[in-house]
Amino acid sequence: MKGQALAIGAVIAVGVAMQIMMTGLHLSLSETRDAYYERYRLADVFASATRVPNAVASDLAGIDGVSRIEPRITGSARIDPADGGLPIAAMTISLPDGRAPAVNDLLITSGRKPDPNRNTEVVVLEAFAIARGLTVGDPLVATLNGTRMTLRIVGTATSPEFLYVTPPGEFVPDDGRYAVLWMPRAALEAAYDLRGGFNQALLTLSRDAKTEAVLDAMDRVLDPYGGTGAYARSDHMSNRFITEEINGLAMSSAVVPPVFLAVAAFLLYIVISRLVQAEREEIGLLKAFGYRNHEVGLHYLEMALAISLGGALAGCALGVVSGRAMIPLYTTYYKFPFLLFRLDAASFLIGVAGSVTVSSVGVLWVMRRIIALTPSEAMRPPTPPDYSRAGGVGRALAQWLDQPSRMVLRRITRQPARMAGAVIGIAAGMSLSLGMLTIFEGFNTALDRSFGQIDRSDATVSLIYPASDSILLELGRIDGVQQAEPVRQVAVVFRNGRATHRGAITGLKAGSDLYRALDGDGHPLTLPERGIVLSSSLAQVLGLQTGDTITLEIREAARPTVTAPVVAIADSLMGTPAYMRIEALNQLLGQRNRISGAYLQIDPSQEAAVRQRLSDFPMIAGVSLSKDAQQAFARMMDQGAGSVRYVMGFMAFVITFGIIYNTARVAQAERARELASLRVIGFYRSEAAFVLLGELGVVVLIALPLGLALGRWMAHGIAAGFSTEIYQVPVVAAPQSMGIATCVVLGAAVASGWLVKRDMDRADIILALKTRE
């Protein structure tokens, strides 16, 4: 039975490994995040405004529940790379003079903080410096509010505020295309004309503070100064992304391992049932000599525990190794200063206890037979099964088949319940494989839909601040720019009753071709003159449908609060966007002909010249190439957190193979005497093997269509687990995935058949014939 024991143990090991790996990653990320936040005092509340006098900071500090406040200056900037590449968008942050920030402190990883008396000294985000090959002492050419200046890097740093950093308008990190710069406060006061004031306030709250009350109070204080709305840490983009990843790991660790352990319980039940049936006489003898039921049952329980504990111990080791291997993937995208894989003692306990439980459940279910078996009944052969009701299907087909094929057919038709169990088990394993393959295809579809159908531009230009759409004409006149379309991004809080979401509205022109809103069938949506189009993910968050009304709290310009009808639901696989006509959006803002960026289509042969010309526009904050964003997304899926799907795909194959192999071995054990008899009366080895493996082949073929149907249902559940606010994974019924899943099952069947036939060829025929019926 070593082959069966190894197969069942492998399934248990996979389940326990997933439990330990995912629980360990969840614990590592959550504890490191919390410790980092606490040590460097990440703000509980963020609030921005146009210009706030310094004296107002005391009013904010006096709000009930506020324990610490840090007023600061932030602004957008652009960096012109030394190699003459495209402009890079950047964010500037002021540092207080002579002290560490009371809130949102930074960790200096090399060099030092800027000298308050030297306005050109700067500390840059470590990830950007590494990606661009920058070191302490290097110059950095930057444009702040229209003023071009040469800065000198005096240090690199990390900050809990920037664990997950993305370029403007994107959802996937690309360290080399977005920078964060910390500078002396005096330098930014001069650059953004904010002497005697600030434009952002950071607050930490006391333990008994009511966050909603603090947010309302901050809005009342900052509204006269152009406040754009205070928001809690839970709405901060970096924190929201890392929290979603942690929550996803928690859900996976609770859902995935039980699936593997349930399969193991099913396989153990089949194996123990077969053993009890085969060892009826021995059980009867033991009972006749005075052994009690629980003593006999304990023998089978110990065997099952040996298998499950062996698998659990292997899973513990595998979980630790795989968890440590995953840590570098997370540090690539989440900028922790350190991240060590933490072992959770509870996960080991749960994994081992779960293995023992599934073993016990299978044995206890079988023990009913042991208890019901009396010595006199057990010591005589079991009553032959009644095949009189097998039906006429077998007899009708038998006349067209040779003798070995009739044996296969007879076995299937006379034991339909057992065959149905094998079919369901194989179909379940196949459904998990197909579900994971469908997810692979879903990731590819998300990539193609986002960067091939929705965003069809070659480059996205972001402006320092909303400007006249006349700049669009200038961009369109650049040699090599074949098409230029406007876009307006406006920060907004969406409300539907108590459901809220902080996001942005994308304003597009009617009939936009380079960036489009698509319906569920992939067809472009026509943006209405009035109303708003919500993405399916945003509509789900807010609980809205077409025809409903949504409240929009716009956080720019005149900052109006308006209601708008939801005229359509767009299919979006990246983020939670919302769309309006750019003219209608500008009208809500009380502005005309304003844009915040543009989508460009570029002649590939003149891309270098276009890049150079774009660098000459002082209004441009940054330029993002679609191919760079696409490559960043693909890297995250293949090398970052998305690579977990490959681990799960391998484990799905382990389950599929384990089920098929055990089905074949149980059939071999049950028919060992029959197969030996066939050999003695003159059947060739190949013919005897055909009788056994033909049955397996029929069962597998029947399981294939059922597995395809179950796989569709399984894919929906797995897709829901992988989907986050960053991206949504669609369920795509791709023929390629179905073909590969079918090949996986057939390959597992062929491998199992080969292993079983090898054992049949090595079997001692005489010993098999001595076994009593």
Interval 563-619: pLDDT, tens: 999 999 998 777 788 999 999 999 988 888 899 999 999 998 888 888 888 877 878
Same domain, yes or no: 142 and 202:
yes
Same domain, yes or no: 123 and 167:
yes
- In the three-class reduction of DSSP (H, G, I as helix; E, B as strand; rest coil), residue 460 is classed as strand
Mean confidence (pLDDT) of the chain: 84
Same domain, yes or no: 328 and 191:
no
461 domain-assigned: no
DSSP-derived letter for residue 204 is E
Residue partners of 394: CB distance under 8 A and separation at least 6: 409, 410, 412, 413, 414
Same domain, yes or no: 172 and 209:
yes
Containing domain of residue 404, as a range? 400-454+627-773
Same domain, yes or no: 96 and 142:
yes
Q: Which of 211, 232, 253 is at the close of a domain? A: 232
DSSP of 700-761, one letter per residue? HHHHHHHHHHHHHHHHHHHHHHH--SSB-------HHHHHHHHHHHHHHHHHHHHHHHHHHH
153 domain-assigned: yes
- Summarised one tens digit per residue, pLDDT across range 92-116 is 999 998 899 999 999 999 999 999 9
CB of 504 within 8 A of CB of 537?
A: no
Q: Which of 210, 232, 254 is at the close of a domain? A: 232
Instruction: Name residue 122's beta-bridge partners.
Output: 153
465 domain-assigned: no
DSSP-derived letter for residue 604 is G
Does residue 772 carry a pLDDT above 60?
A: no
- Summarised one tens digit per residue, pLDDT across range 128-186 is 999 999 999 999 999 888 888 999 999 999 999 999 888 877 777 888 889 999 999 99
Cα separation, 203 vs 8, in Å, equals: 55
- Higher confidence at residue 345 or residue 124? 124
Same domain, yes or no: 73 and 219:
yes
Sign of CA dihedral 605, 609, 612, 616: negative
Same domain, yes or no: 38 and 58:
no
Same domain, yes or no: 515 and 643:
no
- Summarised one tens digit per residue, pLDDT across range 628-666 is 888 877 776 666 555 565 666 676 677 777 778 777 777
Phi then psi for residue 732, to 5 deg, are -115, 120
Cα separation, 38 vs 46, in Å, equals: 16
DSSP of 103-169, one letter per residue? SS--EEEEE-PPPTT-TTEEEEEHHHHHHHT--TT-EEEEEETTEEEEEEEEEEEE-GGGSS---TT
679 domain-assigned: yes
The band of 773, judged by pLDDT with boundaries at 50, 70 and 90, is very low
500 domain-assigned: yes
Same domain, yes or no: 69 and 209:
yes
Instruction: Give pTM, 2 decimals.
Output: 0.78
Same domain, yes or no: 242 and 223:
no
Angle at 500 between CA 497 and CA 503, to 5 degrees: 145
Q: Which of 232, 260, 278 is at the close of a domain? A: 232
Give the residue-averaged pLDDT of 438-452.
78
Number of domains observed in the structure of the chain: 4
Q: How far apart are the first and last CA of the chain?
A: 20
